[in-house]
């Protein structure tokens, strides 16, 4: 049995298997042939020539994050502070990334530090603390332009921390405390003012409501008095009308009684003597009244004679009775 042939075949098989490469998702392989750039392998299966082709660099195409330590920077008003940044980048060209710069991560770190110093050096402390978004935008634009020849795309830059000097930080804390106390006093004053306004408005509203109620009550009282006066006048008017109607009815009844008496006398064919006697009775009734004046008819003498005749008749009737 030829062991040498078996070993040779095993070596050939190992070499053949090693020449088959599978590139995974979000990866790219930079291939060199005899020391020179040959190709960039994307996702999938690939074959290389043994001992001639080699994988120079395996590049990740995912978005990556670099967290750099705090960098000392000086503001325009000569305040030294420390700022640490986050860089979000992605490799867009594996060939440029492999051959553009010797150490891309270090290059990005140094470029970030110098760019940050340039931007902060044009701003004062207060502006630096309140302009994070402006600083982020300027740094991203500058870094993206600088790293483009290296096949790197800077997607976002964020200032993670801005650390001022201890003295400045202490002064800022005192200022913030004073501002908070000031705002507290302002809020208390505004609350008291609002409370006073609310109380005054409540008193005003209550006074208005009281006045409105008093006015309404006065109107109702006046209306009631007016209605009562109208009712009294109506009642008085009704009583007067009823009284007048009663008097008219009484007069009518008296007249009707007189007319009935005259009619009865006429029906009875009364003699002149009877009529004179009735007249005398009427005169006697008038004389018995409370009148202070008495009008005597012109024919009173005839009535007197009639009275004498009646007296004589009465006396003769009395004698006959005896």
For residue 139, count other CB atoms closer than 10 A to its CB.
23
Query: Mean pLDDT, to the nearest integer, of 30-49?
Result: 89
Domain 64-164 has CATH 3.30.479.30: yes
Q: Is 47 helix (H, G, I), strand (E, B) or coil?
A: strand
Note the pLDDT of residue 322.
55
Note the pLDDT of residue 173.
78
> Chain centroid to CA 246: how far?
73
pLDDT tens digit string along 98-130?
998 888 889 999 999 999 999 988 888 888 888
Q: Is 39 helix (H, G, I), strand (E, B) or coil?
A: strand
* Domain segments of the chain as ranges: 3-60, 64-164, 273-322
Q: Give dist(CA 255, CA 257) in Å, integer.
A: 5
DSSP-assigned letters across all residues of 89-116? EEES-HHHHHHS-S-HHHHHHHHHHHHH
The pTM (predicted TM-score) of the whole model is: 0.51
């Amino acid at each position: 049995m030829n062991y040498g042939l078996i070993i040779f075949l095993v070596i050939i098989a190992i070499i053949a298997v090693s020449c088959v490469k599978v590139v995974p998702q979000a990866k790219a392989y930079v291939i060199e042939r005899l020391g020179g750039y040959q190709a960039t392998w994307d996702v999938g299966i690939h074959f290389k020539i043994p001992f001639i082709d080699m994988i120079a660099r395996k590049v990740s195409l995912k978005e990556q994050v670099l967290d750099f330590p705090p960098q000392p920077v000086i503001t325009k008003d000569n305040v030294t502070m420390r700022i640490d940044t986050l860089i979000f980048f992605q490799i867009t060209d594996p060939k440029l990334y492999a051959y553009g710069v010797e150490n891309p991560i270090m290059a990005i770190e140094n470029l970030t530090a110098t760019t940050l110093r340039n931007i902060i050096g044009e701003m004062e402390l207060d502006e630096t603390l309140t302009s994070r978004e402006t600083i982020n935008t300027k740094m991203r634009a500058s870094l993206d332009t600088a790293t483009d020849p290296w096949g790197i795309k800077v997607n976002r830059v964020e200032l993670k921390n801005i650390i001022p000097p201890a003295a400045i930080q202490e002064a800022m804390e005192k200022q913030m405390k004073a501002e908070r106390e000031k705002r507290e006093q302002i809020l208390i004053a505004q609350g008291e003012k609002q409370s006073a306004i609310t109380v005054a408005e409540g008193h005003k509203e209550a006074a208005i409501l009281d006045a409105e109620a008093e006015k309404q009550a006065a109107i109702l009282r006046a209306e009631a008095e007016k209605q009562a006066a109208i009712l009294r006048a109506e009642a008085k008017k009704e009583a007067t009308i009823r009284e007048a109607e009663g008097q008219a009815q009484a007069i009518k009844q008296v007249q009707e009684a007189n007319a009935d008496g005259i009619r009865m006398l006429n029906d009875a064919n009364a003699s002149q003597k009877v009529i004179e006697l009735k007249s005398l009775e009427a005169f006697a009734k008038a004389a018995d009244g409370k009148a202070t004046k008495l009008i005597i008819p012109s024919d009173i003498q005839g009535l007197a004679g009639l009275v004498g005749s009646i007296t004589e008749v009465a006396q003769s009737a009395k004698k006959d009775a005896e």
